[in-house]
Amino acid sequence: MSAPYLSLVIPAFNEVKTIQHTLRAIRDYLAPRGHTFELIVAADGTDGTREAAAELRDEVPVAVLGEPARRGKGRGVREGMLAASGAIVGFLDADYKVAIDEIEKVLPWFEQGYDVVIGSRAVAGADIRRTQPWYRRVGSKGFAMVMRPLVGLYGIKDTQCGFKFFRAPVAADLFARQRIDGYMFDVEILSLALRSGYKVKEVGVKWQDDGDTRLKLVSGNWKNLKDLFRIRFGRKLPAANTRSAA
């Protein structure tokens, strides 16, 4: 079989109730539009998410990765991205905060020469249908105030939206060098992309909060801070790419 046009990695932890709906929604949108695609579910945990995704193999082109132990979203996305075979490779969250139809805002930018195209809640065209609780919004602003000067990632307004796409060779390069296993992997990937000279485009997307409260605000944020220091100080600068950053 020839390689698909799109590879979509779907990180999923304790998403047994939603994963089949998400996979079918992606299929129902992409198939009629003639996009060849593969779906890769990266699901750690023991709640049955992997098994639920595997049940759809006869109706959806899906592969399933993961282990019983929780190893981190960053690791799951990395393993899925490196296993992908599409010309355009990306990831979106299993809780469907950003629906697959927003990909129509993403794909044209690759034709204009961009290497990485990311969804954003903070640029023109963004449409927040259901906002996060106030304490998460405050936390996000505080995170940005720490992250930007520490990592030097001033060119991106929204690093954490889980809707990011890459040319296949760019994904292979970046995720082969990516090391953060937790939530800060988005920051690491974008930092690597800009420091390597890849052209990055941020596009506004429709987004809605799902009310997920699983992130531990104290211990989780402390781990995130340590990972930001790892991104800033834990590696040598990558070899420069010949392409200039946007």
Residue 240 inside a domain? The answer is: no
Tens-place pLDDT, residues 32-87? 998 899 999 999 999 999 999 999 999 999 999 999 999 999 999 999 999 999 99
In a domain, 242, yes or no: no
**What string of DSSP letters covers the chain?**
-PPPSEEEEEE-SS-TTTHHHHHHHHHHHHGGGT--EEEEEE--SSSSHHHHHHTTTTTS-EEEE--SS---HHHHHHHHHHH--SSEEEEE-TT-SS-GGGGGGTHHHHHTT-SEEEEESSSTT-EEEEPPPHHHHHHHHHHHHHHHHHH---S-S-S--SEEEEEHHHHHHHHHH----STTHHHHHHHHHHHTT--EEEEE-EEE------S-HHHHHHHHHHHHHHHHHSSPPPPPPSSPP-
Summarised one tens digit per residue, pLDDT across range 120-138 is 999 999 998 766 555 565 5
Q: Count structural domains, the chain.
A: 1
- Asked if residue 238 belongs to a domain, the reply is no
Asked if the structure places residue 35 within a domain, the reply is yes
pTM (whole model) above 0.95: no
Check which CATH number belongs to the domain holding 82 and give it: 3.90.550.10
- Per-residue pLDDT, 209: 74
> Does residue 245 lie in a domain region?
no
**Does any domain span residue 219?**
yes
In a domain, 31, yes or no: yes
Q: The domain containing residue 184 runs over which residues?
A: 6-233
Residue 243 belongs to a domain: no
